[in-house]
Amino acid sequence: MKYDAIVVGARVAGSPTAMLLARKGYRVLVVDRATFPSDTLSTHIIHAPGVAALRRWGLLDRMTATGCPPIERYSFDFGPFVISGTTSPVDGIDVGYAPRRTVLDKLLVDAARESGAEVREGCNVDEVIVDNQRVRGIRCNGHEYLADLVIGADGRNSRVAKTVGAEDYNTMPKLEYGYYTYFSGLPVSGIENYARPDRGFGVAPTNHGLTMVVVGWPYAEARAYKSDVAGNFYRTIAQVPSFAARLGRATQEAPFVGGAVAGWFRKPYGDGYALVGDAAYNKDPITAQGITDAFHDAERCNRAVDDWLQGRAPFEDAMSAWHRERDARAMPMYEFTSQLATLEPPPPQMQQLLGAVSADQRSMDGFVSVMSGALSPADFFAEENLGRVFAAARQPA
What does the pLDDT profile of the chain (397 residues) look like in tens digits?
799 999 999 999 999 999 999 999 999 999 999 999 999 999 999 999 999 999 999 999 999 999 999 999 999 999 999 999 999 999 999 999 999 999 999 999 999 999 999 999 999 999 999 999 999 999 999 999 999 999 999 999 999 999 999 999 999 999 999 999 999 999 998 999 999 999 999 999 999 999 999 999 999 999 999 999 999 999 999 999 999 999 999 999 999 999 999 999 999 999 999 999 999 999 999 999 999 999 999 999 999 999 999 999 999 999 999 999 999 999 999 999 999 999 999 899 999 999 999 999 999 999 999 999 999 999 999 999 999 999 999 987 6
Q: Can you give the length of the chain in residues?
A: 397
CA distances from 394 to 144, 356, 389, 390, 397 (A): 67, 8, 9, 6, 9
Helix (H, G, I), strand (E, B) or coil at 25: coil
Find residue 6's DSSP bridge partners: 29, 150
Closest among 161, 397, 164, 394 to 281, alpha carbons compared = 161
Q: pLDDT value at position 396?
A: 78
Q: Rounded to 5 degrees, what are φ and ψ at 196? A: -130, 165
3-state secondary structure string, 372-388?
A: HCCCCHHHHCCHHHHHH
* Domains along the sequence of the chain with CATH: 2-44+100-170+263-341 (3.50.50.60), 345-394 (no CATH)
Per-residue DSSP letter, 136:
E
Residue 290 near residue 6 (C-beta atoms within 8 A): no
Closest among 147, 114, 110 to 128, alpha carbons compared = 147
Q: pLDDT value at position 1?
A: 78
Q: Which amino acid is at 149?
A: L
CA distances from 146 to 134, 233, 302 (A): 12, 48, 19
- Please state whether beta strands 143-152 and 2-8 pair in parallel, antiparallel, or not at all (unpaired): parallel
Burial of 364 (0-12, 13-18, 19+ CB in 10 A): buried
Q: pLDDT value at position 223?
A: 98
Closest among 22, 21, 110 to 63, alpha carbons compared = 110
H/E run at residue 192: strand 191-196
